[in-house]
A = this chain, B = another copy of it.
Amino acid sequence: MALDNEMINIAKKAKEASRVLATLDADRKNSALKSMARNLIKKKAAILKANRLDVKNARRKGLSAAMLERLTLNDKRLKSMADGLRTVASLKDEVGVVYDTQKRPNGLWICKMRVPIGVIAIIYESRPNVTSDCVGLCLKSGNSIILRGGSEAINSNIAIYDILNSAAKASKLPDGSINMVKTTDRKAVGILLKQADYIDLVMPRGGEGLIREVVSKSRIPVIKHYKGICHVYVDRYADINMAHRIAVNAKVQRPGVCNAMETLLVHNEIAPRFLPVLVKELQDKGVEVRGCQKTRAMARGVKAAKENDWSQEYLDLILAVKVVSSLDEAIGHIARYGSMHSDTIVTDNYSNAMKFLRCVDSSSVYLNASTRFTDGGEFGMGAEIGISTDKLHARGPMGLHELTSYKYVIFGNGQIRT
């Protein structure tokens, strides 16, 4: 019950603060963000000290090298956190913007006004920079935030939070604008996820396991992506050189991220000219290629792909390759095994291009470009809080605009309904 009360109090306080935050001028929010950025650098010793403790504990627990790398902070990462807050301060304030105005025959002016969502809970793992990134974006979009980081980064997260929250208080933001669940008791998340009266949106960030757990427990709307199984489809009418460049880029440039290619689909008419050269280059770059029978007949050193290869997010230098006999087969494969993240067609044929763009149901669908562009920065958002593969509210990279909703505002001069 003590834990219940603690979580409910955090959520209630956040809701109260959100009402004040919702109408703050951009100047107030921006000066708070800049003060946070300054303080992150000024007080970096405290953060780095806390981070060393987390890293030491993680080593003792035997966390993987990749996990340790994500967890570790240094001067460069702290500077990039501070720069991130300054960038968000420089972005346009979305809140209060009035748009889609129409004048009705009875003289009513009906408009939409962008409004904050309210209270946003972020449940995340590992990377402590998520703490400041999310605080910046939620604050600028007028939302109060409840942070719940992973136990492996608890000391780093608390150190960062304390600095940000002190700056927020010094900038006279309402109490409860920025909240952190400081206990590592796992029950806390379950309690938070029931506070639908106070929390408006939950965004889990981390591995698929964490996200599935949040979705299964939440009584609050969740926006998320489980994983990124991104496809490059090389159509029979593709420019072979372009297809080659795009496939290499989508797989190799940064294989550990969600918008990297996991499966390559190639039309059988172009495959004999395309696949042998591509597979060789990928292998030279250290990629393990797993292919269908036809792929293996065309290229050397290709392991046999199993059924579960088509639905796996490797996040690594591994690629599944399948030769298909039609555009429809490619579209069907993506519908069946894809994750609605990012998929691209390489083609010079207008009808095939338009069919792919219309029929593939993913949140970002490309023509003749690498899937690696699915990112708030690349989409011109300035910063992103995450990527959605859901169908509602927001899809693809989510920035400040996606952290707001709208309400109808209606201007009358005495209209009554008859």
Contacts and interface: CB of A to CB of B under 8 A. Distances in A.
B407 A395 contact: yes
A254 B418 CA distance: 10
Contact of A201 (B96, B215, B379, B391): B391
Interface stretch (A37-45, A266-274, A289-297, A369-377): A369-377
A147 interface: no
A396 to B, nearest CB: 5
Nearest to A113: B357
B391 A117 contact: yes
Contacts of A23: 358-359
B363 A414 contact: no
A364 B112 CA distance: 9
Given A359-B19, A392-B405, A110 B412 contact: no
A224 to B, nearest CB: 11
Interface string A21-43: 01100000000000000000000
Interface in A263-308: none
Nearest to A108: B369
Contacts of A409: 357, 365, 367
A239 interface: yes
A64 to B, nearest CB: 26
A367 B42 CA distance: 48
A408 B363 contact: yes
A106 B418 CA distance: 55
B110 A417 contact: no
A365 B408 contact: yes
A407 to B, nearest CB: 6
B370 A416 contact: yes
Interface string A108-143: 101001010110000000000000000000000000
27 contacts: A22-B358, A96-B358, A104-B380, A108-B373, A108-B378, A113-B357, A201-B391, A215-B219, A242-B413, A246-B416, A250-B416, A253-B417, A254-B417, A357-B409, A365-B409, A367-B409, A367-B410, A368-B415, A369-B412, A369-B414, A369-B415, A370-B412, A372-B417, A373-B415, A379-B408, A392-B393, A392-B405
Given A368-B414, A369-B411, A374-B408, 4 more contacts: A23-B358, A118-B361, A242-B414, A370-B417
Interface of A: 19, 22-23, 96, 102, 104, 108, 110, 113, 115, 117-118, 200-201, 215-216, 219, 221, 223, 239, 242, 245-246, 248-250, 253-254, 335, 357-359, 361-370, 372-374, 378-380, 390-393, 395-396, 405-418
The 8 A-B residue pairs with the shortest CB-CB distance, nearest first, are A369-B412, A249-B416, A372-B417, A393-B393, A242-B414, A364-B408, A392-B393, A368-B412
